[in-house]
Amino acid sequence: MGSLASHLWLEQYRREHHHTICQPVNKLLGGRYQPIRVIGSSQLGKTYLMADAHYPDFPKCIVKHLELPGKNPTTLKFISKFLKRKVGILEKLGEHDQIPEILAFFEEGRNFYIIQEYIPGHSLATELIPGKPWPEVDVIELLKELLEILIFAQAYGVIHCRIKPSNIIRRQTDGKLVLTDFGIAKEVNSQIMKAGGQLETADLTDTSVYLPPEQLNGQSHFSNDFYALGILAIQALTGLAPADLPTARQISQSKTKPLAWQGKAQVNSELAIVINKAISPDPSRRYQRASDLLADLQGIVMSCPTSAFSAVPVEDKKPDPKSGFRPFKSHSSVALASVVGVSVLAALIGIHRFQLPQKLRAYYLVNQANTQKQDRNEALAIANYNRAIQINPNYGEAYAGRGDLHSKQGNLEQALSDLTAAINLKSENSSHYYQRANIRFDLGDLQGAIEDYTQSIKLEPTLAKAYVNRGSARAEWGDDQGAVEDYTKAIELSPEQPELAAAYLNRCLSYSNLDDNSAAIKDCTQAINLRPSHSLAYQNRGLVRRRVGDPQGAIQDFNIAINIDPNSPDPYYSRGLARHELGDFEGAIEDYDRALQLNSEHPFFYHDRGIAYAELGQQQAAIHDLEQAAKHCLNLGRVRCYEDAQYELGRLTQSLLEE
């Protein structure tokens, strides 16, 4: 009836991820989409990461759910018609390699769903680290790549409206940038206003810095997107945190004076002119076409093909009459050195006096946050991590601590961003790689997780839990032999560690998948000896015993699993299968009944109870259950399961006709 899957032990998360052959299932959206987690929300609806159960490998996809406002049929019809037209345009945009493809859309009542391609990778937010400015040439290349995408979008009359780092994904497969989340919700708002509704008052606290003044007032122009790109360029050039970037109000107030950002970045005047034009407070003074902005950037690259910040020896520089710089004569160099030396010493003393207390303050805040995290005072802990980062943007432990909290709260994208920042700041810390690997595992990025576990092991070769989790990632990837090797190494390294029981249990599952059931039973037994109250260990040993033809031994294990965890449907169902094999159909039906009481939508429970009813000659009850099984299989998009139920129904119907 299925296969044993790998089990993941995540000490960092204080929870265990495990899967057995009868894992409970939830009702699917549209009969095929299984929610994984919410990744965004607004007053109009939510954005989900989902798995498409229509395909056997359950590929991920992005589902945008828009709840249409109001109950007026005319308004709803108007908005629905607009949305379908908008999706048609987005489908054309999806033809571009760096814009997600629209896979499907459908309506259910007042709910409108758009299914989009999922792009594995990381957001640009993970690359924009406060205190770490980018080289000028890298910023120019970033803008050029995004502008190429916008040129394509603008050809269809589309304004993105929500360009910000989190909506720009660095694709895992080729490193290209993908522009996501075109502003459909923004346009829905404008249509609501046309229909006499109320404009959404969305929370703009984390996005307003990238929005121009007129967009905050509901006005849309192509130049809105160029403004966002200009702010993005400033963020990269200066290394400023989003909270410290110039706001739309500050830019509006700076019409008669130069913007302060230039004093915080090393940037040549040509690029500064381009950026300042892009973020002009007056939309009419900005670039109006992406191709014009791109042409100006290409001109800068042509005039300075190498980085504007390349190191040049002082003696090779020519005097600049505007700066007042003059080469110094050799006869005055000693005296100058003395003066400069005293000045530098005084400056260093001043810096030391100023920075040391700040660093100590950041250190104190992180320690305080760590204590608050242990006390489960998560709001205060995050606030203190934020303050520590603001004081010392290069404090990797603050990012790591905040990332760990985000992961515990289920904010995995934010956690990934923080752990990436911590790694970029201090790449020799094995725990940071281990934490990020755990997050990547949860996000379904198995290759990325394996890479990070491997790096963690390189930095700390005795880290047993990294071997355990890398083994689980390899098992999920289908490499059970590699998983066995990792679990074996973990067992060698941790004879008395908490990871030991998980290593034996996981290796039990991989051995079973490799058809070495004797070794599997030994490992499951060892896991039970180490953790006698672990229901899953008994259940999985029972599953292996069923595989080797020992249903009585399997039932004994399932009985113990039920006593430990009476609210799980899995061991009841598994015990029902074992009783079924022994010919105890009434006992099997009792177990299937209990499993269905705990999970009334699992198709296998109905299917096998239907078969048991048929064995007892209760054809009508059997037909009812098999019809239910077929229905739930279809809802899950499990074609083989549906066909099997239909086959059994056909046999039963035929036998009734023959009677």
Q: Enter the pTM of the model.
A: 0.49
The structure tokens listed for 367 are 């320690």
- End position of a domain, from candidates 303, 321, 340: 303
DSSP secondary structure code for residue 265 in this structure: S
Q: Is the pLDDT of residue 280 over 50?
A: yes
**CA gap 506, 52 in Å, rounded:** 27
**CA gap 143, 137 in Å, rounded:** 10
Q: Domain containing 264 — which CATH number?
A: 1.10.510.10
* Contacts made by residues 291-296, CB under 8 angstroms, sequence distance 24+: 291/147, 291/151, 293/143, 293/147, 293/226, 293/229, 294/144, 294/147, 294/148, 294/151
Please, are residues 168 and 146 in contact by the beta-carbon 8 Å criterion? Answer: yes
**CA gap 478, 631 in Å, rounded:** 30
* pLDDT (0 to 100) of residue 259: 67
User: Which residue, chain included where needed, has tokens 């100590």?
Assistant: 360
**What is the SS3 assignment for 476?**
helix
Highest mean pLDDT among 180-194, 372-386, 478-492: 478-492
Q: Is the residue at 193 inside a domain?
A: yes
Q: Are residues 270 and 192 in the same domain?
A: yes
* 609-622 confidence digits (pLDDT tens): 999 999 999 999 99
Please, are residues 120 and 175 in contact by the beta-carbon 8 Å criterion? Answer: no
Q: Are residues 98 and 175 in the same domain?
A: no
**CA gap 181, 225 in Å, rounded:** 13
Q: Is the residue at 408 inside a domain?
A: no
Residue 112 forms beta bridges with which residues?
A: 66, 107
Residue 52's domain comprises 28-117
- End position of a domain, from candidates 71, 99, 117: 117
Q: Is the residue at 138 inside a domain?
A: yes
Please, are residues 145 and 215 in contact by the beta-carbon 8 Å criterion? Answer: no
User: Which residue, chain included where needed, has tokens 């042409």?
Assistant: 295
**pLDDT band for position 483 (cuts 50, 70, 90):** very high
* 623-634 confidence digits (pLDDT tens): 999 999 988 887
Q: Is the residue at 50 inside a domain?
A: yes
Question: Between these two residues, 97 and 444, which has the higher pLDDT value?
Answer: 97
- End position of a domain, from candidates 253, 282, 303: 303
* pLDDT (0 to 100) of residue 187: 59
* pLDDT (0 to 100) of residue 626: 92
Q: Domain containing 100 — which CATH number?
A: 3.30.200.20
For the chain, the average pLDDT equals: 79
Q: Is the pLDDT of residue 593 over 90?
A: yes
* Contacts made by residues 620-624, CB under 8 angstroms, sequence distance 24+: 622/652, 623/649, 623/652, 623/653
CB atoms within 10 A of CB 631: 15
DSSP secondary structure code for residue 79 in this structure: H
Q: Is the pLDDT of residue 197 over 70?
A: no
Q: Are residues 68 and 146 in the same domain?
A: no
CA 190 to chain centre: 30
Distances 290 to 90, 150, 357 between C-alpha atoms, Å: 19, 6, 47
List the alpha helices (DSSP H) in 375-395. 378-391
Q: Are residues 39 and 168 in the same domain?
A: no
Q: Is the residue at 521 inside a domain?
A: no
CB atoms within 10 A of CB 648: 20
**pLDDT band for position 338 (cuts 50, 70, 90):** very low
**pLDDT band for position 203 (cuts 50, 70, 90):** very low
**CA gap 566, 478 in Å, rounded:** 31
Q: Are residues 184 and 253 in the same domain?
A: yes
**CA gap 309, 319 in Å, rounded:** 18
Please, are residues 588 and 617 in contact by the beta-carbon 8 Å criterion? Answer: no
- How many domains in the chain? 2
Q: Is the residue at 295 inside a domain?
A: yes
